[in-house]
């Protein structure tokens, strides 16, 4: 085969030569290698750094998973203790007072995702390591972001309800401390454990839209805060992290488990897109869904309201039977959070509080072996338009 230099081609030929990879939504396009996360879409398995997420959900903690994602291996006891201590210290978790003042200045109707996006971006101005992109500095920044994002989310919840933010409690792990800062009450063991497992399950997911956004930003050699801010913007959309909120809106619309079957059959007949179902990579049920279904059911039982999970189970059964489209991570997470008394519009910020672990791991990996991410478009517009002066149009 004759090797052609792409500069010998006409612009049209060059694009045609590339367009074999032109797939809408970059479906099935491999854009880079990565050691962080593997999704087996046919078997329904999710692996972080070699470890099955089922095992991590059963045996690990969110803090340990964060370490695993950033350092590539499970910590020894000594490494874990030092990492945990820094991550949970009040100095790492607390917000600069000027940032809290900034939050107080926002209109109360600002959505929690808008607040998170704004707050994370603003935090860079207070970080002593910004704009140092060395690995050591980036890990310190990732540590602060992971520790401060729960404080930020909880502070906004308090401020918009006209209450004072609650200071972090260094005796509680990240999951329990977040629930405490939201309500002022220490969570039950079941709630804290469930929340910790939910954080583990959302911590990374290969080149999903928000992670890719983070990597694209990082690949320009921009900084950790800019990359995470980009990722938060991408996560906000209803086709990505915003789906968990939409699921709960659907559940609230259905209200009564006895009405769920008729509701979903009509929605299918109307060709509606049902949030919490389907996935670009999984061909079977998302492996995270089973854990969240079980935990949401347990929490619902404890709270004396099993109706949400019953509604979701019926919707899932009919979607599976009729459309062969399976639950994803977003179907059951909201029902668990709702049972903990968390408002619906906080579900996506909670997703971000966990996914920041993965985003940061991907920024570290990108900066460890960087090349600018700059794809091409297959141009389908006009090429020989004649400019007509505005006075003659
Ligand atoms: C996740 C998602 C965006 C993946 O999208 P995608 O890979 O681009 O797949 P498509 O949107 O092209 O869907 C492929 C087919 O499945 C159908 N489909 C996919 N997800 C569906 C859903 N949730 N409800 C109804 N139909 C769905 C589409 O209508 C399409 O059918 P068609 O070929 O007859 O038109 C999509 O499944 C979706 O919108 N899900 C709901 C949002 C959600 O839960 N997001 C969280 C993801 S973790």
Least confident of 17-26, 276-285, 295-304, 384-393: 17-26
2 band by pLDDT with thresholds 50, 70 and 90: very low
Q: Is 279 a catalytic residue?
A: yes
What one-character-per-residue DSSP string does 141-181 give? HHHHHHHHHHHHHHHHHHHHTT-PPPPP-TTS-HHHHHHHH
Q: Is the CB of 288 under 6 A from ligand 1?
A: no
Give residue-wise pLDDT tens across range 139-170.
999 999 999 999 999 999 999 999 999 999 99
Q: Where are the domains of the chain?
A: 37-238+352-368, 243-339
Give residue-wise pLDDT tens across range 55-109.
999 999 999 999 999 999 999 999 999 999 999 999 999 999 999 999 999 999 9
Q: Is 330 a catalytic residue?
A: yes
CA 48 to CA 201: how far, in whole Å? 10
Q: Which CATH class is domain 243-339?
A: mainly alpha
- Check 127, 196, 204, 330 and give the catalytic one: 330
Phi, psi for residue 47 in degrees, rounded to 5: -125, 125
CA 191 to CA 175: how far, in whole Å? 9
User: Span 37-238+352-368: which CATH code?
Assistant: 1.10.580.10
Question: In the numeric block, which tokens belong to residue 78?
Answer: 């000594």
28 band by pLDDT with thresholds 50, 70 and 90: confident
pLDDT for residue 271: 97
pLDDT score of 364 more than 80:
yes
Q: What is the mean pLDDT of residues 315-334?
A: 96
HSE-CB for 130 with a 13 A CA cutoff: 18
72 dihedral zone (left: phi>0; alpha: psi -120 to 50; beta): left
Q: What is the mean pLDDT of residues 353-366?
A: 98
CB 212 within 8 A of CB 199: no
1 band by pLDDT with thresholds 50, 70 and 90: very low
Q: Is 345 a catalytic residue?
A: no
Q: What angle do CA 13, 18, 21 make, to 5 degrees?
A: 150
Q: Is the CB of 243 under 6 A from ligand 1?
A: yes
pTM for the structure as a whole: 0.92
Q: Is the CB of 139 under 6 A from ligand 1?
A: no
Question: In the numeric block, which tokens belong to residue 386?
Answer: 């004649």
pLDDT for residue 27: 87
pLDDT score of 196 more than 90:
yes
Q: Is the CB of 213 under 6 A from ligand 1?
A: no
CA 340 to CA 303: how far, in whole Å? 8
Task: Report the run of H or E that residue 38 belongs to, with start and end.
Answer: strand 37-40
């Amino acid at each position: 085969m004759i090797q052609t230099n792409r500069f010998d081609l006409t612009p049209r030929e060059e694009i045609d030569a590339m367009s074999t990879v032109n797939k809408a939504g970059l479906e099935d396009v491999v854009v880079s290698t990565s050691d962080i996360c593997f999704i087996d879409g046919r078997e329904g398995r999710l692996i972080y750094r070699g470890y099955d997420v089922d095992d991590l959900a059963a045996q690990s903690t969110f803090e340990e998973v964060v370490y695993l994602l950033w350092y590539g291996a499970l910590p020894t006891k000594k490494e874990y203790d030092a990492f945990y201590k820094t991550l949970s210290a009040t100095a790492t978790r607390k917000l600069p007072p000027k940032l809290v003042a900034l939050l107080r200045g926002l209109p109360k109707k600002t959505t929690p995702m808008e607040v998170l996006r704004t707050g994370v971006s603003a935090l860079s101005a207070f970080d002593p390591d910004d704009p140092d992109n060395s690995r050591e500095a980036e890990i310190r920044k990732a540590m602060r972001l992971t520790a401060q994002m729960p404080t930020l989310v909880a502070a906004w919840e308090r401020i918009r309800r006209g209450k004072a933010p609650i200071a972090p409690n260094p005796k509680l792990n990240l999951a329990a401390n977040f629930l405490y800062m939201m309500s002022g009450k220490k969570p039950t063991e079941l709630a804290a454990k469930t929340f910790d497992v939910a954080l583990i399950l959302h911590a990374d997911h290969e080149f999903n839209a928000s992670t890719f956004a983070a990597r694209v930003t990082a690949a320009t050699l921009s900084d950790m805060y800019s990359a995470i801010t980009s990722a938060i913007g991408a996560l906000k959309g209803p086709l990505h992290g915003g789906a968990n909120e939409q699921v709960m809106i659907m559940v609230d619309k259905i209200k009564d488990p006895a009405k769920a079957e008729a509701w979903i059959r009509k929605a299918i007949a109307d060709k509606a897109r049902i949030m919490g179902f389907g996935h670009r990579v999984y061909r079977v049920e998302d492996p995270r869904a089973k854990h969240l279904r079980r935990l949401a059911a347990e929490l619902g039982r404890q709270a004396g309201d099993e109706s949400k999970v019953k509604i979701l189970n019926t919707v899932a059964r009919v979607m599976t039977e009729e459309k062969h489209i399976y639950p994803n991570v977003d179907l059951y997470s909201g029902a668990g959070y709702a049972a903990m008394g968390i408002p619906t519009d906080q579900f996506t910020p909670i997703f971000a509080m966990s996914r920041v672990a993965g985003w940061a791991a991907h920024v570290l990996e990108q900066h460890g072996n960087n090349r600018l991410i700059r794809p091409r478009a297959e141009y389908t517009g006009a090429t020989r338009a004649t400019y007509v002066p505005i006075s003659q149009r």
